[in-house]
């Protein structure tokens, strides 16, 4: 073992200082690359991301170290896990060797990589090195043989994979040459190197050649490793740094929350026109993106043939940042871009195709956010340039005039409940809950039936609640996501003042969009309430015995997850538990369900816009529902109900498939 160690370590005895010099140069090149990116991020606006440190560290450990999201897709997940963990252990092993040879051995003449520790050390490094090679081969097979649509192969991808592969292979070759010189039995623990050593002759005549080959291979390996380190900061491989950073600095606010424009009355500009209008974290997002395409694979706009790809949006912003880097540096970060990003770098059709369903953000393993960028860019188009379609213009006009999306007078808002003997808060505010009916539940003829069913259930359960009647107005959710932040804040502040006058503390909503806004966004303006989507409340009432089903409903039902109830707020179980509690009702799942549910196409203001590009999203969802063989699709959102009913009619499936809100099903069971 001593002879082998001498051969192993003496390679570096006469080249120590040249290696130090090269290493220092590489580190400088690496740091300069990172500093360049860091300076580009800093042109963005401030964004506080140093709260809840332990939770942030936990995010990096769960999603970075242990691949919590990546492993949801087995093939690419295992592939990446092998490469990541392989390189991580090789990095640790290299660091230990460096510590011994350039510190403990050099200064104290002490070695600690010996005996049983050496054997274990060798075995582990060979195991994880082999895993890394397998991972690289799987990645190459997937990228260049399988060629999934979401991967856009570039030269840097091939170069990066080849570089990693060569570093690993030369490392093992170097080990094999070292072992071949003496081939001691204990080196069997270095099982990959041991097998490679069998390729070379161990005769006395070959020893000198093997030693020379070992030195040459060692240098080649070191130069490749140094090239890899320097290359990281100037290529896609920078995600080795930026991805953990992005995971650490990810938003810890609810996914459904959109940040407001602060002090809106005193702002000179609104939204994002140029790179400096983004926050530093939004710019970091562009470097953290690995172009894996998971977002694209789950985006309903992209899958229905719209021009939007979340991956493309982020990459287009990154390219724009890179192209602007020279001017930004010359101007000290103060360059004024003459052409706004929205409509140019990111096309208007891309921005308006987004349904804000969050499928992209749910899939992203490094927590890149897309919705906030889309909304910020829409804000500039709407508030600064007045660039929006005629139907959006009509929506804003109706909101400003009657506080609802339809051309219907606000005074008729409570007409749906004339015969229901409901308490109106203007007459009696001594109730426990405010039932927020919402625009669809108040004005849309189909969703009025849902409102009546919910009222019936609440009354049967003895819940103390009331409505605002004609005083109710829109919650502001759609206006905000369509970019009209000014109108949204007016509506929100008016509602908060009204709620304050009535002392409202608890709110029941029919609509997940209203639920999300009250729960996650009203606190931005001082409105803090306990907010319940009806599915949560009805489940509690059923479990408490206040609601009982008197009759079974024989049907095969598929539950459609609303984006704003599910992905944005994590409510998946309550609606399913209600449906499963019904006798004779069989609940089936669609292929895309829960966090991977497919949007109905109405979110982000799309409910009020024409869908002229690509296929209709609601029709794609209806096809997925029909594939289950269900006779009923159950919904818990007025937008979803409307869109799916339209999709069923458009596909000519009315005879075999119908849409019912969960409240309608439960009310019938009562």
pLDDT per position as a tens digit, 522-558: 999 999 999 999 999 999 999 999 999 988 889 999 9
560: DSSP letter: P
pLDDT over 90 percentage in the chain: 88
| pLDDT tops 80 at residue 16 | no
**With bands split at pLDDT 50, 70 and 90, how would you rate the model's confidence at 5?**
very low
pLDDT value of residue 19: 87
> What band does 4 get if pLDDT is binned at 50, 70 and 90?
very low
Looking at residue 383, the DSSP 8-state letter turns out to be I
Domains and CATH numbers, the chain: 2-9+69-232 (no CATH), 269-384 (1.10.1060), 390-542 (3.40.50.1860), 543-669 (3.40.50)
Q: How far apart are CA 505 and CA 431, in angstroms?
A: 10
* CA separation for the pair 517, 514 (Å, rounded): 5
Mean pLDDT of 404-420: 93
Show the DSSP H helices in 253-370 as ranges: 280-288, 294-298, 300-303, 310-330, 348-353, 359-363
552 CB contacts (<8 Å, ≥6 apart)?
582, 583, 584, 585, 669
Contact yes or no for 627/658 (Cβ under 8 A): no
Q: What are the C-alpha distances in Å from 663 to residues 448, 584, 667? A: 12, 17, 6
Give the pTM.
0.93
- Which residues in 655-667 are b (16+ Cβ under 10 Å) and which e? eebebbbbbbbbb
Asked if residue 39 has pLDDT above 70, the reply is: yes
Averaged pLDDT for residues 64-68: 96
Whether residue 332 has pLDDT greater than 60? no
343 pLDDT exceeds 90? yes
pLDDT band at 336 (very low <50, low <70, confident <90, very high): low
What's the confidence (pLDDT) of residue 6? Answer: 42
Mean pLDDT in residue range 610-626: 97
Is residue 181 within 8 Å of residue 211, measured between CB atoms? yes
Tell me the DSSP string of 111-158.
--S-HHHHHHHHHHHHHHHHHHHHHHHHHHHIIIII--TT----HHHH
Measured in whole angstroms, how far is the alpha carbon of residue 601 from the centre of its chain? 19
Per-residue pLDDT at 465 = 97
| 384-398 average pLDDT score | 96
* pLDDT of residue 72 exceeding 90: yes
Average confidence (pLDDT) over 167-173: 97
Establish how many alpha carbons lie within 13 A of residue 258's alpha carbon, considering only the half-sphere containing its beta carbon: 33
Least confident piece of the model among 101-105, 149-153, 638-642 = 101-105
* pLDDT value of position 326: 75
Q: What is the pLDDT of residues 18-31, one digit of tens each?
A: 888 999 999 999 99
Residue 10 pLDDT more than 60?
Answer: no
pLDDT-derived band at 337 (thresholds 50, 70, 90) equals low
List the single range of 4-13, 70-79, 465-474 with lowest mean pLDDT.
4-13
Tokens of 327: 């001017």
d(CA 424, CA 431): 10
Distance CA 190, CA 175 (A): 8
Confidence class of residue 15 from pLDDT cuts 50, 70 and 90?
low
Statement: residue 494 has pLDDT above 90: yes
pLDDT band at 231; cut points 50, 70, 90: very high
Residue 213, Cβ density class (10 Å: 0-12 exposed, 13-18 middle, ≥19 buried):
middle
pLDDT digits (tens, 9 = 90+) for 181-227: 888 899 999 999 999 999 998 777 788 899 899 989 999 999 999 99
Which residue, among 71, 133, 77, 122, has the nearest Cα to 96 in the 3D structure?
122
pLDDT at 459: 97
pLDDT above 70: residue 448: yes
For residue 9, what pLDDT band results from cuts at 50, 70 and 90?
A: very low
Residue 182 CB-density burial (10 A; 0-12 exposed, 13-18 middle, 19+ buried): middle
Residue 129: predicted pLDDT: 97
What average pLDDT does this structure show over 240-268? Answer: 96
* Residue 465 bridge partners (DSSP): 433
Residue 8, pLDDT score: 42
Instruction: Report the DSSP beta bridge partners of residue 346.
Output: 342
Mean pLDDT of 371-375: 98
What pLDDT shows up at residue 11?
47
Q: List the beta bridge partners of residue 416.
A: none
Does residue 1 register a pLDDT over 60?
no
> Exposed (0-12), middle (13-18) or buried (19+): which is 289, by Cβ within 10 Å?
buried
Q: Which two tokens stand for residue 311?
A: 């991956």
Q: Phi/psi of residue 366, each to 5°?
A: -115, 15
Q: Is pLDDT above 50 for 2? A: no
């Amino acid at each position: 073992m001593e002879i082998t160690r001498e051969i192993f370590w003496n390679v570096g005895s006469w080249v120590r200082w040249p290696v130090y010099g090269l290493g220092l140069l590489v580190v400088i090149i690496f740091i300069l690359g990172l500093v360049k990116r860091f300076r580009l991020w800093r042109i963005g606006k401030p964004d506080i991301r140093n709260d809840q440190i332990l939770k942030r560290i936990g995010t990096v450990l769960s999603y970075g170290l242990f691949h919590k999201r990546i492993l949801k897709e087995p093939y690419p997940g295992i592939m990446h896990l092998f490469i990541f963990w392989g390189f991580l252990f090789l990095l640790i092993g290299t660091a230990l060797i460096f510590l011994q040879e350039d510190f403990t051995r050099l200064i104290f003449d002490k070695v600690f990589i010996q005996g049983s520790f050496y054997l274990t050390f060798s075995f582990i490094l060979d195991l994880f090195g082999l895993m890394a090679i397998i991972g690289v081969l799987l990645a190459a097979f997937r990228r260049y043989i399988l060629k999934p649509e979401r991967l856009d192969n570039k030269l840097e991808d091939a170069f990066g994979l080849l570089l990693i592969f060569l570093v690993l292979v030369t490392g093992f070759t170097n080990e094999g040459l070292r072992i071949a010189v003496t081939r001691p039995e204990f080196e069997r623990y270095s099982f990959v190197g041991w097998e490679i050593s069998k390729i070379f002759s161990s005769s006395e005549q070959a020893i000198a050649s093997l030693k020379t080959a070992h030195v040459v291979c060692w240098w080649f390996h070191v130069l490749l490793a140094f090239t890899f380190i320097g290359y990281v900061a100037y290529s896609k491989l920078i995600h080795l740094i930026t991805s953990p950073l992005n995971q650490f600095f990810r938003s810890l606010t609810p996914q459904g929350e959109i940040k407001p424009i602060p002090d809106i009355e005193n702002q000179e500009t609104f939204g994002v026109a140029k790179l400096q209008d983004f926050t530093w974290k939004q710019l970091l997002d562009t470097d953290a993106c690995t172009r894996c395409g998971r977002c694209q694979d789950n985006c309903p706009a992209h899958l229905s043939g719209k021009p939007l790809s979340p991956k493309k949006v982020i990459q287009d912003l990154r390219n724009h940042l890179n192209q602007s880097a020279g001017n930004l540096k010359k101007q000290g970060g103060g360059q004024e871009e003459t052409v706004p990003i929205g409509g140019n770098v990111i096309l208007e059709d891309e921005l308006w195709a987004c349904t804000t369903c969050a499928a992209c953000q749910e899939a992203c393993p490094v927590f890149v956010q897309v919705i906030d960028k889309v909304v910020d860019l829409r804000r500039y188009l709407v508030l600064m340039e007045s660039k929006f379609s005629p139907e959006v213009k009509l929506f804003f006009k109706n909101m400003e005039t009657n506080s609802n999306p339809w051309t219907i007078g606000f005074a008729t808002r409570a007409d749906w409940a004339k015969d229901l003997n409901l308490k109106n808060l203007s007459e009696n505010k001594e109730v426990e809950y405010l039932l927020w009916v919402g625009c669809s539940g108040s004005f849309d003829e189909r969703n009025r039936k849902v409102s009546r069913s919910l009222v019936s259930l609440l009354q049967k359960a003895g819940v103390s609640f009331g409505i605002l009647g004609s005083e109710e107005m829109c919650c502001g959710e759609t206006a905000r996501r369509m970019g009209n932040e000014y109108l949204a804040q007016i509506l929100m502040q008016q509602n908060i003042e009204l709620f304050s006058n009535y002392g409202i503390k608890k709110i029941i909503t029919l609509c997940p969009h209203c639920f999300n806004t009250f729960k996650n966004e009203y606190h931005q303006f001082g409105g803090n309430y306990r907010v319940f989507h009806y599915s949560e409340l009805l489940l509690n009432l059923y479990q408490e015995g206040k609601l009982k089903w008197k009759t079974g409903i024989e049907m095969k039902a598929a539950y459609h997850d609303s984006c704003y109830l599910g992905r944005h707020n994590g409510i998946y179980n309550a609606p399913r538990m209600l449906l499963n509690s019904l006798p004779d009702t069989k609940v089936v799942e669609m292929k895309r369900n829960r966090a991977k549910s497919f949007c109905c196409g109405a979110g982000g203001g799309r409910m009020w816009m024409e869908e002229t590009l690509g296929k209709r999203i609601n029709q794609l969802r209806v096809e997925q529902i029909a594939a289950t063989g269900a006779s009923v699709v159950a919904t818990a959102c007025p937008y979803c109900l409307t869109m799916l009913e339209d999709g069923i009619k458009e596909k000519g499936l009315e005879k075999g498939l119908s849409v019912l809100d969960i409240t309608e099903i439960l009310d019938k069971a009562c």
